[in-house]
Amino acid sequence: MAQALTDSNFNEVVEQAQMPVVVDFWATWCGPCRMISPIIDKMAEKYEGKVNVVKCNVDESTDIPMKFGIRNIPTILFFKNGEIVDRVVGAVPQAEIEKRIDSLL
């Protein structure tokens, strides 16, 4: 299962990460978010030890979404060395997420 990303642990989890990080911005009321949630959890298991896959609830942590201009959810940001290298907006197939994660490695 993907780790929770919050305003308070963002620096530690993303900016100081020793490996690429994938951040899923979501909310409990968002239907498309619920559709991709199991995919995100699968990716967290599949890439464990290679990529840190985390989830940020936009209703609970508002600073991070504002910092990155998240206006639509789900939005998935792909970080390498603390910098955004890719972004996906909307519910996309598992293969698309895997392809983008693989490009981080």
**How many domains does one find in the chain?**
1
CATH number, domain of 28, equals: 3.40.30.10
Range of the structural domain that residue 38 is part of: 3-104
C-alpha dist (Å) from residue 29 to 10, 13, 48, 69, 91? 23, 25, 28, 20, 14
Q: What residues act catalytically?
A: 30, 33
Count of all residues that appear for the chain in the document? 105
- Interval 79-105: pLDDT, tens: 999 899 999 999 999 999 999 999 999
- Interval 18-66: pLDDT, tens: 899 999 999 999 999 999 999 999 999 999 999 999 999 999 999 999 9
